[in-house]
Structure 1
Amino acid sequence: MTRSLIGVVLLAAALYLGLCLALLLFQRSLIYFPQPRAIGGPERLLMLPVTDQQIAVTVRPLASAKALIYFGGNAEDVSRSLPSFAEAFPDHALYLLHYRGFGDSTGKPTEDAIQHDALALFDKVRALHAEVALVGRSLGSGVAIRLASQRPASRLVLVTPYNSILELAQRQFPIFPVRWMLHDKYESWRYAPTITVPTLVIAAEHDEVIPRWSTEKLIRQFKPGVTRVEVIAGAGHNDIGESPEYLRLLRAGL
Structure 2
Amino acid sequence: MFLRVMLVFVALALLLYGGICMAMYFGQRQQIYHPEASWRVQQPPDFELVNEGVRLRGWVVNPGHEKALLYFGGNGERIEDSRHDLGLWFPDRTIYLLPYRGYAASEGEPSEHALVSDAQALFDRVARDHTTIAVVGRSLGSGVATQLAASRAVERLVLVTPFDSLVHVAAGYFAWLPVNALMRDRFESWRYVNDIHCPVLVIRAEDDEVIPAERTLALIKAFKQAPMVQVVAESGHNTVQDHADYRVSLERFLR
TM-score by length of 1: 0.96
Partner amino acid, structure 2, of 1:136: G
Give yes or no for contact 1:71–1:144 (8 Å, CA) kept in 2: yes
Give yes or no for contact 1:56–1:98 (8 Å, CA) kept in 2: yes
Q: What is aligned with 1:213?
A: 214
Q: What is aligned with 2:57?
A: 56
Give yes or no for contact 1:37–1:102 (8 Å, CA) kept in 2: no
Residues 38-187 of structure 1 correspond to what in structure 2 (within 5 A)? 38-42=41-45, 45-187=46-188
Give yes or no for contact 1:195–1:222 (8 Å, CA) kept in 2: no
What is the alpha-carbon distance in structure 2 between the residues aligned to residue 9 and residue 41 of structure 1? 56
Give yes or no for contact 2:100–2:106 (8 Å, CA) kept in 1: yes
Instruction: Note the alpha carbon deviations across 1:104-144, whole angstroms, 9 max, x for none.
Output: 00111000001110000000111110010000000000100
Task: Give 1:38 shift.
Answer: 3.8
Query: Is there any run of 5+ residues in structure 2 with no aligned partner, and where?
Result: none
Instruction: Note the alpha carbon deviations across 1:140-173, whole angstroms, 9 max, x for none.
Output: 0010011000000000000000000011112221
Q: Which runs of 4+ in 1 moved over 4 A?
A: none
Q: Secondary structure at the match of 2:164?
A: coil
What is the alpha-carbon distance in structure 2 between the residues aligned to residue 224 and residue 39 of structure 1? 42
Percent identity between the two aligned chains: 43
Instruction: Give the root-mean-square deviation of aligned CA atoms.
Output: 1.2
Partner amino acid, structure 2, of 1:235: S
Distance 1:156 1:61, change over 3 A: same
Task: Give 1:37 shift.
Answer: 5.1
Task: Give 1:41 shift.
Answer: 2.4
Q: What is aligned with 2:34?
A: 33
What is the alpha-carbon distance in structure 2 between the residues aligned to residue 202 and residue 98 of structure 1? 22
What is the alpha-carbon distance in structure 2 between the residues aligned to residue 39 and residue 88 of structure 1? 22
Partner amino acid, structure 2, of 1:244: A
Task: Give 1:246 shift.
Answer: 1.4
Q: What is aligned with 1:20?
A: 21
What is the alpha-carbon distance in structure 2 between the residues aligned to residue 223 and residue 16 of structure 1? 40
Moved more, 216-225 or 92-101: 216-225
Give yes or no for contact 2:74–2:141 (8 Å, CA) kept in 1: yes
Residues 218-233 of structure 1 correspond to what in structure 2 (within 5 A)? 218-225=219-226, 227-233=227-233
Partner amino acid, structure 2, of 1:233: A
TM-score by length of 2: 0.95
Query: Is there any run of 5+ residues in structure 1 with no aligned partner, and where?
Result: none
